[in-house]
Amino acid sequence: MTILSSFPLSPRLFQLRPFLLTLPFLVSACNRLEESEPITETRELSSYARKQVVDISSAVRFYDNQEPETNADESREHPLLWVTPEGWKEKPVSQMRLIDFTFGPNDEGECYLSALPGPAGGLAANINRWRSQIGAAALTEEEIDKLPRKNFLGGPAHFVSVDGDFKGMGDAASAKSGYRLLGLIHQAQELTLFIKMTGPKELVEQNAAAFEAFCQSVQFRKKAEKIPSH
């Protein structure tokens, strides 16, 4: 299992660490629910030990009944700042999507930023995964190397633009025809950042400039610097 803390984190990328530490456990946590460990040893409780209370609720035992803090410290702030394009609707942050938008008359377009530890499977695998989601053939390493780059967070990011029938994580029967996918993939030593935009081709064309502006607006949070945003 790859744990983010095994990578040397730069000060800026360290800000994303709280969001990424939970990712490796998403799959393993499901399997552990079925595991059991027999009790094979016992010990005498010391007279100095705190008295054990058995008949209490889980909320009390694990402090889930505590009131939330009114003054969240800086570590709870979102590690990124950005400008939300006009007309785009911001959705709540999730473990897999650090920034999430919908756009269009019926919210049929979406754009989100996500991050995974380390190389996240590799550049070619991720680009071709996106292409397969929209019914496009896989690219070779040589073809991927010829893809355009855009500046993102001070470094190069591979830019992807492909049209087709978008099925996302579903099957071919659920594919939506006439879609376009735009994406950026930025690889760093510690993690890989993704920005992915999908929607009907005409709608995505209309929002291409907004996509570019959003990508360029993303920056790491600084104590003394704020930008107009969400």
Q: Is the pLDDT of residue 16 over 80?
A: no
Q: Where are the domains of the chain?
A: 80-220
pLDDT digits (tens, 9 = 90+) for 209-228: 999 999 999 998 874 354 44
Residue 112: other Cβ atoms inside 10 A: 19
Protein fold of 80-220:
Protein Transport Mog1p; Chain A (3.40.1000)
Q: Is the pLDDT of residue 61 over 80?
A: no
User: What band does 34 get if pLDDT is binned at 50, 70 and 90?
Assistant: low
Indicate the pTM of the whole model.
0.68
Q: Is the pLDDT of residue 1 over 60?
A: no
Q: Is the pLDDT of residue 137 over 70?
A: yes
Dihedral angle at the C-alpha atoms of 42, 43, 44, 47, nearest 10 degrees? -130
CB 160 within 8 A of CB 147: yes
Q: Is the pLDDT of residue 51 over 60?
A: no
pLDDT digits (tens, 9 = 90+) for 147-160: 999 999 989 999 99
User: What band does 182 get if pLDDT is binned at 50, 70 and 90?
Assistant: very high
